[in-house]
Structure 1
Amino acid sequence: MMAAGTDVEPLTAPESVAAKPPLRSRRIGRPRPGQVGTALVLAVLAGLWIYPFVWLISASLKTSSEIFGGGLDLIPEAPVWENYSRAWTEVGFATYFANSVLITVGTVLLIVVRSALAGYVLGRYDFVGKKLLIGIFLVTFFLPEGYTIIPITQLTDQLGLLNSHIGVILGLGAGGQIAATLLYAGYFRRLPKELEESARIDGAGQFTIFFRVMLPLAWPITATVVILTFLFAWNVYLLPLVFTLSEPELRTLAVGMTVFVGEQSTDWSGMAAAAVISLLPVIAVFVVLQRKFVDSIAGAVKQ
């Protein structure tokens, strides 16, 4: 305790603090002219980008004569919802849709598993001929699909799988898939070796380490491969067309679009409705996996 009569000086703030002017309040609600211009440009570009999709939805609710007679008008006079029911039932798009789902899911599973396994080996192990193997993969990456369709068809025919779902899945998923393989290889290369060593100490085998430790860690890359493979398998046209020429009931949605094209006329409204139906699963898959897809792209940019 202080002795009685001791003078106590009052507490004062340091000069630097006392002399500091008060913070100015930020003005909210007044965007800069540059920001307004940027927003307008982006809005115009977004409108141009989304206009074809909006037009497609509008065309799916019109008659064929109204599509070409209405000009740029996006609002139909009287929505024709029968276009969707006609495309789904009468034309047989329900069967084509089921075929596309089966073939796409099988292709995605096949490509994810084999690309992840190949990428794991290329990313974690060094062996003789590794650079040569990667070079061969890169060469096959630039080969057009038309150059490989003949040997793939002959091989599938010799296996007795030409007119079947399994044949289409093997034809789509048994290629090099170098892009997906290199994505996995680059990701697995960055993982620390201590993860595998710890798993081996706990008694895990090689396949257990891969499927229960390494592959779950590569979920962002898997999401990217799933999206890209889904888009490829869902929209591919040439190979399913060749593989299902003698079996029309095995057609996919992309091949089934040709049903609307006749010798004398084309059912444009039915084709537009079918196109909208075929786009819905693509949009759903991208909405579900878009965060992982963006994270994987951002991680690749940071490297």
Structure 2
Amino acid sequence: MSTTALTHAPTARSSTEATTPRRRRIANRRRFARHVLLTIVLVPAAALWLYPVLWMVSASLKTNTTIFSSMGLIPEAPEWENYTRAWWTANIGPYFWNTLLITAATIAIVVITTAMIGYVLGTFPFPGRRIVMVLMIATLFLPEGYTIIPIFDLIRSLGLSTSLAGIVLAESGGAHVMIILLFAGYFRQLPRELIEASRIDGAGFLRTFWTVMLPLAKPVLATAIIMTLMRVWNSFLIPLVLTLTRPDQRTLAVGVYAFQGENATDWTGMAAASTISMLPIIIAFLLLQRYFVEGIAGAIRG
């Protein structure tokens, strides 16, 4: 090696070492600037999204004469008796338990059926699979109001039109296409060797699904639970039609609608009942939000 190369090598190395901290500082500044920009944009957007919810909670603690007097969020004198009136006088308590029972039973049925359908569509190639998926996706464009008459006729022919079981069957009998596609995408990305190994061990279809594949799909299970909970808990049309002759079997969504009378509306009672009905969904989402994000991301990767 020449003397010139030996002379310039330490100089080049020291120059590179000097520029590395500078590049890191520039990268950190850019990252900080992006975070500040995102905060400036997202905080007002989050405030606009949360304001109606916070206003509803605030309205539940006001009187009917002061509810629209100002758009402030802090009531001068909280009226906690609005919740008592909504729970006992307006029968929101029984409606709450009806909704809880219907939602729990529907979630159990929907999760099991959609998981099995998604398992078959995601792991077993069979003739006509693409056609089946296209037909299922096409049902997304069918309005719910168009199917309420055949659903009611079917439930009545089964003798379940006057029971909570009829509402459970009507709510769980839909296509649930989005949940099926999530399960299919998630099962598709799992190694095929798991199914083959379970077959070698003598496990059949149901045992492989129940003991091997389903425990691996916990993120999608949480996603399915949240999506079904939100849909059934807020369902209005089917419970309204099936409980016209049985007011005692109404759900929360139908019960809240009862605060609107022909000549007047109990706005504070409606706000209190809406706040009560909103709490279970918020609690469930907070408990399962990590699995919800993982389930969506895993299904998309699949």
Task: Give the TM-score taking structure 1 as reference length.
Answer: 0.88
Amino acid at match of 2:226: I
Q: Name the CA distance, whole Å, in 2 between partners of 1:169 and 1:302.
A: 33
How far did residue 17 of structure 1 move? 6.3
Q: 1:259 and 1:192 mapped to 2: Cα distance?
A: 52
Aligned residue for 1:263, secondary structure, equals: coil
What CA deviation, in whole Å up to 9, does each residue of 1:175-206 have, x standing for no partner?
Answer: 11222112111221222221112122222222
SS at match of 1:260: coil
Contact 2:148/2:238 (8 A) holds in 1: yes
Identity of aligned residues (%): 48
Match of 2:3 in 1: none
Correspondence for 1:57: 57
1:161 paired residue number: 160
Aligned to 2:86: 87
1 CA distance for matches of 2:210 and 2:217? 10
Q: Does the 8 Å contact 2:185/2:299 carry over to 1? A: no
2:261 is matched with 262
* Deviation of the 1:121 alpha carbon: 1.3
Give the structure 1 partner of residue 135 of structure 2: 136
Give distance in 2, aligned partners of 1:125 and 1:200.
14
- After TM superposition, the structure 1 stretch with the greater mean CA deviation from structure 2, 199-208 or 245-254, is 199-208
Deviation at 1:238, TM superposition (A): 0.3
Distance 1:201 1:223 in 2: 30
Q: Find the counterpart in structure 1 of residue 5 from structure 2.
A: none
Residue by residue, what CA displacement relative to the aligned partner does 1:90-119 show, whole Å, maximum 9, x if unpaired? 111110000010111111111111111111
Task: Please name the residue that 2:4 is paired with.
Answer: none
Which of the two has higher C-alpha Rg? 1
Shift of 1:21: 4.4
**Match runs of 1:142-153 below 5 Å:** 142-153=141-152
Q: Aligned with 1:68: secondary structure?
A: coil
How many angstroms apart in 1 are the aligned matches of 2:128 and 2:32? Answer: 59
1:220 offset after TM fit, Å? 1.2
Q: Distance in 2 between matches of 1:243 and 1:138?
A: 27
Correspondence for 2:169: 170
C-alpha change, 1:109 and 1:194, in structure 2 (3 Å) is same
Partners of 1:128 and 1:301 in 2: CA distance: 24
1:249 alignment partner AA = D
Corresponding residue number in structure 2 for 1:11: none
Q: Within 5 A, what are the aligned runs for 1:153-302?
A: 153-302=152-301
> CA shift at 1:264, angstroms?
1.8
Q: Which shifted more, 244-253 or 258-267?
A: 258-267
Cα RMSD of the aligned pairs, angstroms, is 2.4
Q: Which runs of 5+ in 2 are unaligned?
A: 1-8
How far does residue 60 in structure 1 lie from its aligned partner after superposition? Answer: 0.5
2:185 and 2:272 map into 1 onto residues whose CA distance is: 41
Q: Residue in 2 aligned with 1:40? A: 40
Q: Deviations over 1:189-246 (max 9, x none)?
A: 2222211121222222221110110111111111111111110000010000001110
Counterpart Cα distance in 1 of 2:297 and 2:117: 23
SS of residue matched to 2:72: coil
Conserved? CA contact 2:119–2:183, under 8 Å: yes
Gaps of 5+ in 1: 1-13
Pair 1:68–1:184, CA change in 2 (3 A):
same
Once residues 185 and 36 of structure 2 are traced to their aligned partners in structure 1, the CA distance between those partners, rounded to angstroms, is 41
